[in-house]
Amino acid sequence: MITLVLGGARSGKSTVAERLVGRLAPPVTYVATMVVSDDAELAARIRAHQLRRPPEWRTVEAGLTLPAAVAATTGTILVDSLGPWVALGPTPELTTALCAALTSRTGDSVVVTEEVGMGVHPSSAEGRAFRDALGLLNHAVAAVADEAFVVIAGRTLRLNDDA
C-alpha cells in the first residue's frame, strides 16, 4: 500500500504520516530526503523530528539516492519529504525510478510531500522551476498511490479521484 500525505509548510503533514506509519507493521524505516548541513536551526528541527519518532524506527538518509533507498528497504517506510529531494535536483528519470521503487515494494510506504499549488506565485525563475518540478513529482507519486491525504492546520482530508 502506498499512501501520499500532502500539506503546506508547518501543516502537520509529518505528524499525520508518523501516526499512519505507527499503525502499520514493523519494522519501520524513516527515509530522510534532506541532507543535513551546517545550519543550526535546521539541525534543531531535524532533531525535534527524530525525538518524536519511536526509538526502534531505523533512519536512512537518502539524498539523491532516494529511489535506491526505497527499493532496498524492507518493511514499512516513511519517506519525509519530497520537497527537499526536489531541491537537490533529481531528473525525470529519478522520478520514474522513485515511482517504480514504490510500486515494486512489498512493504507499506507512506510518502510526505509539500503541496505547492496553494502558495504564492514564485517571483524567481528558480522558484518557479522548483514549484513546477515538485508539482510534477507530486502528480507522479499520486498516480501510483493507493490513497492520498491533504493536511491543513493539523486536520486531515482524504482525497479521491472520482473526477
Domains along the sequence of the chain with CATH? 2-159 (3.40.50.300)
Region 15-30: mean pLDDT is: 96
Read off the DSSP letter of residue 116. -
Per-residue cell: 40 = 543550526
Q: How much is the average pLDDT of 21-50?
A: 88
Average pLDDT of the residues of the chain: 92
pLDDT of residue 9: 84
- pTM: predicted TM-score of the whole model, two decimal places: 0.93
Is pLDDT above 80 for 163? Answer: no
Name residue 127's amino acid.
Answer: G
Concerning whether 139 is annotated as a catalytic residue, the answer is no
Neighbours of 84 (CB within 10 A): 16
Q: Label residue 39 by pLDDT band (50, 70, 90).
A: confident
Looking at the chain, the whole-number percentage of residues with pLDDT higher than 70 is 99
**Alpha-carbon radius of gyration of the chain:** 15
DSSP H helix total and E strand total for the chain = 6, 7
Contact between residue 76 and residue 28 where contact means Cβ atoms under 8 Å apart: yes
Beta bridge pairs of residue 5 = 112, 149
Please tell me which residue in 12, 46, 49, 127 is annotated as part of the active site.
49
How far apart are alpha carbons 71 and 105 in whole angstroms?
A: 7
Give the residue-averaged pLDDT of 77-83: 96
Residue 85 makes CB contacts below 8 A (sequence gap 6+) with 33, 62, 63, 64, 66
Residue 47 in this model has a pLDDT that exceeds 90? no
